[in-house]
Structure 1
Amino acid sequence: MTERTFCIIGAGPCGLALARAFRKAGIRYDHVERHSDVGGIWDIDNPGSPMYRSAHFISSKTQSHFLGFPMTADYPDYPSNTQILAYLRSFARTFGLYDHIRFGVGVVDVQQVSGGWQVAFSDGETRTYAGVICATGTNWEPQVPRFEGEFSGDLRHSVTYTSPDEFRGKKVLIVGAGNSGCDIACDAARNASAAFISMRRGYHFIPKRVFGQPSDAFAANGPHLPAALERPIMQGLLRLLVGDLTRVGLPKPDHRLFESHPIMNDQLIHHLAHGDIRVKPDVERFDGLDVVFRDGTREAIDVVICATGYTMNIPYARRYFQWKSERPELYLTIFNREHHNLFGLGYLETDGALYDLADWMAHLLTRYLLTQAASPDAPQPFDTLIRDDRTDLSGGPHVDSPRHALYVQRRAYLKHLRALCRRVGWPEPDAHALAVPVTAPRPLPGGATGQQVGA
């Protein structure tokens, strides 16, 4: 086994954030990506990607970038999928990450062995590492519902959807009202001959802009109030900004604001108000080309798109993780409680932007490994936290659903990470230091240099 070498699996946003952190800290690593380039799901040409041509960031550019690497001024408030992909590739180029990624190589299996982890790659090679970081993402295994009856039309999951051209001249039903479902429903409203969206419950809709600025920027820059005050104030603001949405056919939410993942979409409300799309309840059954709904109504439909989410999985190492509602149960969404030096990165549901959180997660993992390398035979206080700390980071309560089983509220998460850094004596991530690319070898434990990265 190469001394203290780690394996990063996946070159999406979280894998790239960790690679930057490892390079800056001088931690040796191999980095593999089964696709031909970086970007993960944001590359529409990556086989299995759920990306569609009209997709944009749900969070705004000022809240969504890596630490020390803001998006360029010419980007709009809500960048498109192609702009996000360009941003990720620029990030990888700027910080010299491309030279250390083996493209076209996937992972077949991860096996715990004496003193480390053995990784079997798709090219037939096997290597052993001090640790493995799984960063292969969450939106790769479609969750397809079961329906009664038989449908004679085109029934498929949203992972197969790419272009609104697929809807032209057809009667289209979108099942599911998450953010992607609402986006695709808007494509149907503009292009289909008739469009419907099936919703099993009502949701709170938050406009993308509030008082002339992106709503997440408004929330981040405004006063941070206790939940007991924030909820009624925000509910009052939403009543003022969007009004009673039952007027356009949306069902009334069966939960309070922030008790479920909110919908960031203005366009669906626009199309509902103009009659371009109609809301239907849950699907009861199929009858040929007819879809029969729970309220007894039926519609003749050509295309049914199930925007019903994804099942998180780490197939090459699944047996080494604990699972709750098909989500890996990890300390701080990073640290495996039972298996030493097997980590996950990015397996979380949260209410805000991911990229700076990815930097925070990468920072904690890097500090943990540096501390471990400095005193390999000494007990690590952080290992006790990994085993015992069960702090609730959900900001709950939430609707009882698989999506919220291990939900992480961004504000609660960051607050806890800062407190942990103070508790164990680790610095917080420094955006200014992160902004500087690595241009020279960095010292590694044992006197080696950063030039050995990937060796």
Structure 2
Amino acid sequence: MPTSREGHEPDHHPTTTILHRGGGAGDASAGDSGAPPTRQVWVPGPVIVGAGPSGLATAACLKARGVPSLVLEKDPCVAASWRHRTYERLRLHLPRCFCELPLAPFPPGTPPYPTRDQFVAYLDGYARAFGIEPRLGARVRSAAYDAAIGFWRVTVDEDDAEGGGAAATTTEFVSRWLVVATGENAEPAWPEGVEGMDGYRGVAMHTSSYKKGDEFRGKNVLVVGCGNSGMEVSLDLCNNGARASMVVRDKLHVLPREILGISTFGLSVFLLRWLPIKRVDSLLLFFSRLILGDTEKYGLPRPKIGPFQVKSSTGKTPVLDIGALRKIKCGEIKVVPAINRFTGNNGVEFTDGHREDFDAVIFATGYKSNVPSWLKEEEFFSHADGFPRKPFPHSWRGKNGLYAAGFTRKGLMGTSYDAVRIAGDIADQWTEAFASPTAAHRSSDHGA
């Protein structure tokens, strides 16, 4: 690492050291252009970008192995996507045993299917239990590997805590390791290229902003998307007196949430230990037809391959029914084909040619990774979708100390898998680098 240090005093975070504080007289980084002051901070442990479940789990596993870390979070709280996406995930689809992060179970008394608020409380308690104090309001502008010194340079814009949040500062964190933990669902994904969409004059929102169906009582509402979020929002609209129509563009698997009183997901995981995936899919589809009937009769055709084969090949999760299918069967939720174009102020034309006016359109079109917007790296992460190019279980480690946590398309179980392996790999390097005072001194002077 760089050996010239100006103002070698501890930063506000206990695991960082200021190398250079910018913005002073004669500092070229500030200049006369009005640019925010900059400073350079060395982080002896890894920098973790994101304080959601993946970032917290990785930091906890690192701490358990004796490795400090710096967690950067652009929002003013941990787990912001869980906390602020007010309707989605009101209740987790999976049993709590499949939602636990490493080293800490849910507290006693938690129901088999925790609510979103209970999961958020669990994450808050998890951070407290392991003493994880993310640097909040730290928006990563860019991160790039500097081969000359063997360190990652992570440039962050953040509010100046000493100035009451009024002034923004730019900080460059320098670390040997970088863990990308911003997740698969960092930003809402909106449909592109739909004719006339810009001219729609009704209410248009993404499910990330949806709160409660009673806001649409008596309204004609179109839900674009038929995944778990689309189904849940359609059901909530219907239960609150709205007239809900749901766009079904693709084939999908709808499964009961429980089979014979057992979680469908839990049963599937158990069966996959003993049976091939095709056999497990056959059993799931048999019970699904027995419990739910033929979904194709109601405009919900199934793919030719089974639900877990679809999940494995595309990452697309099957829908776990919590009541929407019954509403579809009785016509309270109307199934419509894909949108052809928007017409007039409130009109929508579908691919079958029929048109209808809607007071609101809610896009249940999922989320996307934001990694390509800030990570300056072209080999490990794909710029097309912001996911690691290598499939699970090899998607957690790249080159030059770069790691990915929570990009497995396997939910919180994948998050735990990544966190344990990342922490173990970094801890082994940490032990080797700092096993002796001599090694620690060399690392401090020269970097890796």
Q: Settle same-fold status: TM greater than 0.5.
A: yes
Could you say what secondary structure the match of 1:299 adopts? strand
Aligned to 1:295: 352
Aligned-pair CA distance for 1:374: 4.8
Aligned to 1:357: 414
Aligned to 1:307: 364
Could you say what secondary structure the match of 1:117 adopts? strand
Distance in 1, Cα, partners of 2:118 & 2:435? 38
Aligned to 1:400: none
Could you say what secondary structure the match of 2:48 adopts? strand
Distance in 1, Cα, partners of 2:135 & 2:43? 20
Q: What are structure 1's unaligned runs of at least 5 residues? A: 45-49, 377-443, 449-455
2:116 pairs with 63, 67, 81, which one? 81
Aligned-pair CA distance for 1:72: 3.0
Asked if the contact 1:190–1:276 (Cα under 8 Å) also holds between the matched residues in 2, the reply is no
Which stretch of the first structure deviates more once superposed, 364-373 or 318-327? 318-327
Aligned to 1:265: 321
1:342-381 matches, cutoff 5 A: 342-350=402-410, 353-354=411-412, 356-375=413-432
> What is the letter of the counterpart of residue 187 of structure 2?
E
Aligned-pair CA distance for 1:282: 0.6
Distance in 1, Cα, partners of 2:89 & 2:143? 36
Aligned to 1:392: none
How many pairs align? 368
Could you say what secondary structure the match of 2:188 adopts? coil
Distance of aligned partners of 1:368 and 1:189 in 2 relative to their CA distance in 1, 3 Å threshold: same
1:42-441 matches, cutoff 5 A: 42-44=82-84, 50-52=85-87, 55-98=90-133, 101-113=134-146, 114-123=149-158, 124-145=170-191, 146-149=193-196, 150-222=199-271, 224-247=274-297, 249-258=298-307, 259-260=309-310, 261-288=317-344, 289-314=346-371, 315-320=373-378, 321-323=380-382, 325-331=384-390, 332-336=394-398, 339-350=399-410, 353-354=411-412, 356-375=413-432
- What percent of counterpart residues are identical? 27
Distance in 2, Cα, partners of 1:121 & 1:37? 17
Distance of aligned partners of 1:95 and 1:54 in 2 relative to their CA distance in 1, 3 Å threshold: closer
Aligned to 2:165: none
The superposition leaves residues 352-410 of structure 1 with CA deviations (integer Å, 9 ceiling, x where unpaired) of x41x432321221122223334556xxxxxxxxxxxxxxxxxxxxxxxxxxxxxxxxxx
Distance of aligned partners of 1:24 and 1:254 in 2 relative to their CA distance in 1, 3 Å threshold: closer
Distance in 2, Cα, partners of 1:446 & 1:168? 68
Aligned-pair CA distance for 1:184: 1.1
Could you say what secondary structure the match of 2:244 adopts? strand
CA RMSD of aligned residues (A): 2.3
Aligned to 1:386: none
> What is the letter of the counterpart of residue 287 of structure 1?
T
Asked if the contact 1:132–1:343 (Cα under 8 Å) also holds between the matched residues in 2, the reply is yes
The superposition leaves residues 270-307 of structure 1 with CA deviations (integer Å, 9 ceiling, x where unpaired) of 21133321100111111122211111222221111111
The superposition leaves residues 229-258 of structure 1 with CA deviations (integer Å, 9 ceiling, x where unpaired) of 2222222121112111234x2332233222
Q: Which has the higher contact order (CA 8 A, sep 6+)?
A: 1
Distance of aligned partners of 1:325 and 1:53 in 2 relative to their CA distance in 1, 3 Å threshold: closer
Asked if the contact 1:327–1:347 (Cα under 8 Å) also holds between the matched residues in 2, the reply is no
Distance of aligned partners of 1:371 and 1:71 in 2 relative to their CA distance in 1, 3 Å threshold: closer
Distance in 2, Cα, partners of 1:134 & 1:228? 33
> What is the letter of the counterpart of residue 57 of structure 1?
L
Distance in 2, Cα, partners of 1:128 & 1:273? 57
Larger Rg: 2
Could you say what secondary structure the match of 2:174 adopts? strand
Asked if the contact 2:57–2:102 (Cα under 8 Å) also holds between the matched residues in 1, the reply is no
Distance in 1, Cα, partners of 2:211 & 2:262? 29
Asked if the contact 1:206–1:262 (Cα under 8 Å) also holds between the matched residues in 2, the reply is yes
Distance in 1, Cα, partners of 2:81 & 2:351? 34
Could you say what secondary structure the match of 2:342 adopts? strand
> What is the letter of the counterpart of residue 346 of structure 1?
G
Asked if the contact 1:148–1:286 (Cα under 8 Å) also holds between the matched residues in 2, the reply is yes
Could you say what secondary structure the match of 1:291 adopts? strand
> What is the letter of the counterpart of residue 333 of structure 1?
S
> What is the letter of the counterpart of residue 197 of structure 1?
M
Distance in 2, Cα, partners of 1:445 & 1:162? 52
> What is the letter of the counterpart of residue 344 of structure 1?
A
TM-score (norm: length of structure 1): 0.75
Could you say what secondary structure the match of 1:334 adopts? coil
Asked if the contact 2:253–2:303 (Cα under 8 Å) also holds between the matched residues in 1, the reply is no
Aligned-pair CA distance for 1:52: 1.8
TM-score (norm: length of structure 2): 0.76
